[in-house]
């Protein structure tokens, strides 16, 4: 599994990356967490608001910082993201 954090490196992007890493660790799964900071790549993925989270190449969230629990739900395949 590959999680991508899309954003220029602002504080919210850093926090989203931290939450993604925590979610992977808490679930005990094998996954890579990658930072994508290139604006061209971010735009090509269809993201207009950062930070954004992509899981296996699919944008799952944009414009907000998800909690660790919300990311765990997305990784587990939930269609509803808990608040």
pTM of the predicted structure, to 2 decimals: 0.90
Give the right CATH number for 2-75 from 3.40.30.10, 3.40.50.2300, 3.40.50.300, 3.90.420.10.
Answer: 3.40.30.10
What per-residue confidence (pLDDT) applies to 39? 95
pLDDT tens-place values along the chain, 83 residues long: 999 999 998 999 999 999 999 999 999 999 999 999 999 999 999 999 999 999 999 999 999 999 999 999 999 986 556 55
Q: Which residues are catalytic?
A: 10, 13
> DSSP readout, 6-19?
ESSS-HHHHHHHHH
User: 51: number of CA atoms within 13 Å, CB side?
Assistant: 23
Tokens of 9: 């490196």
Chain segment 28-50, per-residue pLDDT in tens? 999 999 999 999 999 999 999 99
Locate the domains of the chain by residue range: 2-75
Give the pLDDT score at 62: 96
């Amino acid at each position: 599994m590959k999680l991508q954090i899309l954003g220029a490196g602002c504080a919210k992007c850093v926090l989203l990356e931290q939450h993604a890493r925590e979610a992977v660790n808490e679930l005990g799964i094998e996954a890579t967490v990658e930072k994508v900071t290139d604006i061209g790549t971010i735009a090509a993925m269809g993201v207009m608001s950062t930070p954004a989270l992509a899981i296996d190449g699919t944008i799952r969230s944009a414009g907000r910082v998800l909690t660790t629990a919300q990311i765990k739900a997305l990784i587990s395949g939930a269609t509803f993201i808990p608040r």
